[in-house]
Structure 1
Amino acid sequence: MCVRLLVIGCNHTVTPEFGLINCVFTHHRLHNAADIKPMSVYENPESPTMSTQRGQKLNSLQHLLPEGLVVSSRWLDEAGYSSALRSKYVASGWLEQPARGLYRRPRAETQWQHMVVSLQSLMRMPVAVGGLTALELQGYGHYVPMGHLRRVYLYTEARLPKWLNEMGQTIQFLPRNARKLFSSGAISKTINALPPLASTKNDETIEGPANGLRIHVWGDRSWPMMISRPERAILEFLDELPDNQSFQHVADLFTGLSNLSPRQLQETLESCDSVKVKRLFLWFAERSGHSWGKRLDLDAINTGSGKRVIAKGGRLDPKYHITVPKNLDGH
């Protein structure tokens, strides 16, 4: 005789292959097992259509949000994931909130590069890695970063979200207004033209974007990350003078810039709106003596008029009309 337990309240049939269900129930001994229609312990009382749709939505989210990447509540809203559904996913362990208004897959390590890829390819924010960080990524960093805090320079054409610096104590994003140096809106145009997030070629760098930008391939999934080319990044770095960087640091960096592209330099200098930065670059370029300096068309570069005080207490350079340190490199 086949005996089964009918779970009253849970509405499940308990069979040997599933074992006991952890719930409170009463049971009846049945002499005819055929009287009971077998049900899976995983069945949900909601309709099959609703259950299927919920499963498809969760599977779709796992595809849209790869491990390590993050998205905002606004992004999830626009993708069709309501606040109530997000709360359910968090409670179920399918999502977690590393900061207010921010979501990611659980137990995933998020590095600063994940954050940038998320901003660019998922949330489509007009931001690029630039300045010293971009130089370091392309092998031009003169100093090895010390300490546990990693500073990342981001050049943006829009306000960045507050949660960007709430991810932990080891990353500090330093936002800079990209339009201060370049008013062309190149970052926004390039971000909007990016294809949906997918693995790119296995090359370290892929050419493509103009206006001093390039796609840098990062990580084991070869994700694209938009950064400034070295010709643009050095101008961004020069803008940090004199308050946030030193003349000596710039001088040390210039010693390793021997292979910059004269064509890229010419285009970037002509499109740069900062007279201070352009004069500083030309002064350092002349001082470094790299061969590309002789191939620049200086007449096509607008360096403005008047004097610029940059190094307080320094000497006035008679050619570029900027104040520079009296002593650099020990002389």
Structure 2
Amino acid sequence: MCVMDAQRSSRLNHLLLSLPEGFLADSAWLQAQGLSRSSIRDYVDRGWLERLGPRVYRRPMQAAKSLLRWDLVVLSLQQVMHKPLHVGGRTAVELSGYAHYLEAGDASTVYLYGQGIPSWLAKLPSSAHFETRSIRLFANSSTGVEMRRYDLRSGEAAGSTKDAESTSPWEWSLTMSVPERAILEMMDELPQHESFHQVDVVMEGLANLRPGLVGKLLQECRSIKVKRLFLWYADRHGHAWLKHLDQSSVDLGKGKRQLVPQGHFDSRYQITLPTELFATGGPSDAQ
């Protein structure tokens, strides 16, 4: 075997070990593995890679579907390409076991938070639409974000884990927001991209939040609107953890916030909310 053939074989073996069947990689990652642009084209011609669009490829697998599974796309971004992003908001709420509180049919949108999310993501033929968000909501981008074992066969997230590399790729860990952070990210979407009713029913089910983590997230949250909304909903549902939440260090800002026109003004938190939220009684009913 000549030197060039040996090098090609070595690079191919490395690719097969680093990129599991069905997983994605972009051209930047492939070049970082030692593949030139011409080598990438050669791999496509030989069937070792499949071109999905500009700058993005997949290692072929049997029975691959035309529509890419969103979770496989995200795991490729996180575990193969090591992009600093996480699943959050409504999607993380669903994966944390609260999907039954949400209206059916909303799973087709996946919320991704992070920096440097590649532009090709929006053009992929995926099973879901990706809504991408920055990490500006919190001063610390990692608070309330953890890795959870994810079963690609069932599409379910299990308990948290710090070991993502010792298992099968089909049980790799998904980096996602825990419920304490996910509900705050969800509230940040109000009123344009979420409904107050949906947030209300989810908040009703969050009876086991950790007050220490909630307090830390509220301190690091940069949105006055989100912090006031969270505390209003927390008062409304009166969960036991609220009694252990230290609110003294949470900056709620000054002035009124009108979140909807012609709504109901809550005097304690200085926010105007939809009138229907008060039909069953809010935490305070002052006009």
Which bracket does the TM-score occupy, shorter chain normalised? Answer: 0.7 to 0.9
Does 1:160 find its partner at 2:117? yes
Q: Take 1:55 and 1:111, find their aligned partners in 2: how far apart are those partners?
A: 30
Q: TM-score, normalised by structure 1?
A: 0.74
Please give the secondary structure, in 1, of the residue aligned with 2:175: strand
Distance 2:55 2:189 in 1: 32
Which whole-Å CA distance do the structure 2 matches of 1:260 and 1:186 have between them? Answer: 18
Sort the Cα spacing of 1:227 and 1:299 in 2 relative to 1 into closer, same or farther, 3 A: same
Aligned residues: 265
Secondary structure, aligned partner of 1:258:
coil
1:43-92 deviation line (CA, Å, top 9, x unaligned): xxxx5333232222211111111112211111111211001111111001
> CA, structure 1 residues 316+329, in 2 after alignment: closer, same or farther (shift >3 Å)?
closer
Q: Which residue of 1 aligns with 2:75?
A: 117
Match of 2:198 in 1: 249
Root-mean-square deviation (Å):
2.7
**In structure 2, what is the equivalent of residue 225 of structure 1?**
174
CA distance in 1, matches of 2:119, 2:251: 37
Q: Which runs of 4+ in 1 moved over 4 A?
A: 217-220
User: TM-score, normalised to structure 2's length?
Assistant: 0.84
| Equivalent residue number for residue 285 of structure 1 | 234
The residue number in structure 2 matching 1:146 is 105
Q: Could you tell me which amino acid in structure 1 is paired with residue 42 of structure 2?
A: K
Alpha carbons of 1:219 and 1:304: their partners in 2 closer, same or farther (altered >3 Å)? farther
Is 2:216 the counterpart of 1:296?
Answer: no
Question: Partner amino acid for 1:137?
Answer: L
The 1:159/1:60 distance shift into structure 2, 3 A limit, reads closer
Q: Distance in 2 between the 1:207 and 1:232 partners? A: 18
Give the whole-Å Cα distance in 2 for the aligned partners of 1:290 and 1:54.
61
Aligned residue runs from structure 1 range 291-330, under 5 A? 291-328=240-277, 330=279
Match of 2:91 in 1: 133
Which residue identity is paired with 2:90?
Answer: L
Q: What is the DSSP-based 3-state SS (H/G/I as helix, E as strand, rest coil) of the residue aligned with 2:205?
A: coil
- Which segments of 5 or more consecutive residues in structure 2 lack a partner in the other structure? 148-156, 281-287
Q: Which has the higher contact order (CA 8 A, sep 6+)?
A: 2
The residue aligned with 2:7 is: 53
Structure 1: segments with no counterpart, 5+ residues? 1-46, 195-202, 210-214
CA distance in structure 2 between the partners assigned to 1:70 and 1:185 by the alignment: 25
Higher helix share: 2
